[in-house]
Amino acid sequence: MTAVLKVEGLTVYREAYAAVKSVSFSLQEGTDTAIVGPNGAGKSTLVQALLGILPRKAGTIKILNQPLTAAGQLSSRVRQEIAYLPQHFLFDRLIPITVTELVALGWDDFRVQWFHWKTRERSHAVRQALSKVDAWHLRHQLIRDLSGGEMKRVLLAYCLVRPRSLLILDEAPAGLDIQSESAFYHLLYQLKQDQNWTILQISHDLNMVRRHCDHVLCLNQTLRCQGPPNDALTQENLISAYGSDFANYHHNCGF
């Protein structure tokens, strides 16, 4: 198996504070890795640094064997292999953008090109992606009118509208009720198998991590543990990442 993502000695500062310190790990092709840790542990900072959204202080990041430069640049070809869904997809609800337009942005490679470039090919890809997530009937709707569950399906269509290697999800099911969350994961893992995606996701749900993920990274500024969930999520490691109160509560409740 080849490494889709390789991170070495990554340190990221938020203002004067090191939110992520000397983190190293790698993701193997086709695996599903979860980042867990308490609020403020640096999970979102870590994924944003991996994408070049936040600058890093030290360390190296290689995605599909291509280095992410210190200025956050990556070759356009590799960029198209990555899809990122932020925690809570917050947008200005007055922006009049339709479901079709949003998913089509997932297909674009964002070079300087005429706005009608490859319209037919683009429309075909959008249709296929929306059909796969059972959202074709929503195509003309403004995204602000979608329910939470519909929005997540549309965002998955944004990811799969073009073949990808790596999906980075920052608490993707945030804001969904239990039923919609379960439907979201069902669809995500169906598509993962179908598309052979490598997934890196931030999660607070240790049960889900144990059930679905191949690998887990426990983060609290530094990497406190990593490995297969059943080996890594020990009482001792949870205390190290979350503190003793949470770990004892978690253990006693049998989660």
Partner 1 sequence: MTIATDLTRVIDLFQFPFMQRAVIGGVLTGFMGGLLGSFTIMRQLSFFSDALGHSALLGISLGVLLGLEPTSVLLPFAVVFGLGIAYLLQKTKLWTDALLNIINSTALALAIIILSSLESYKGNLNTLLLGDILAVRPADLWMSTALLASCVVFVALTLRMQMLVTLHEPMAIARGIDTAKQQMFFIVLLALVVGVSIKAIGILLVSAFVVIPACTARLWSRSFITYVWCSAIIGAISAVVGIVASAFFNWPSGPSIVMVQFAVFVTAALTSR
Burial of 127 (0-12, 13-18, 19+ CB in 10 A): middle
What string marks each residue from 116 to 135 as x (binds partner 1 by CB under 8 A) or -? Answer: --------------------
Binding segment for partner 1 among 20-28, 71-79, 223-231, 242-250 (CB under 8 A)? 71-79
> Given candidates 6, 57, 79, 204, which one binds partner 1 under the rule CB under 8 A?
79
Q: Among residues 14, 101, 163, 236, which is the contact residue for partner 1, using CB under 8 A?
A: 101
**Do β-strands 58-63 and 3-14 pair in parallel, antiparallel, or remain unpaired?**
antiparallel
Among 2-10, 104-112, 171-179, 242-250, which window interacts with partner 1 (CB under 8 A)? 104-112
Binds partner 1 by CB under 8 A, chosen from 1, 17, 110, 178: 110
Number of residues that bind partner 1 (CB under 8 A): 35
Give the shortest CB-254-to-partner 1 separation in angstroms. 37
How is the beta sheet containing 32-36 ordered, strand by strand? Answer: 82-85, 166-170, 198-202, 32-36, 215-220, 222-227
Nearer to partner 1, 21 or 122 (CB): 122
Can you list the positions of beta strands (E) in 120-231? Answer: 166-170, 198-202, 215-220, 222-227
Among 1, 17, 96, 245, binds partner 1 (CB under 8 A): 96
Rounded alpha-carbon distances, angstroms, from residue 102 to 129, 161, 221, 254: 12, 11, 34, 41
In angstroms, what CA-CA distances link 34 with 3, 22, 131, 163, 238? 16, 18, 28, 22, 14
Q: How far is the CB of 74 from partner 1 (least distance, A)?
A: 6
Q: Which is nearer to partner 1, 19 or 238 (CB)?
A: 19
Instruction: Give the shortest CB-101-to-partner 1 separation in angstroms.
Output: 5
Q: Which is nearer to partner 1, 96 or 254 (CB)?
A: 96
- Which of 179-188's residues contact partners 24+ apart within 8 Å by CB, and which partners? 180/148, 180/149, 180/152, 183/149, 184/149, 184/152, 184/153, 184/156, 185/212, 187/133, 187/153, 187/156, 188/156
Contact window for partner 1 (CB under 8 A) among 20-28, 31-39, 89-97, 230-238: 89-97
Residue 70, amino acid: A
The minimum distance between CB 14 and partner 1, in angstroms, equals 14
Q: How far apart are CA 92 and CA 110, in angstroms?
A: 22
Residues lying near partner 1 in the complex (CB under 8 A): 48, 51-53, 72-74, 76, 79-80, 82, 84, 86, 89-92, 94-98, 101-102, 104-105, 108, 110, 112-115, 140, 142, 168
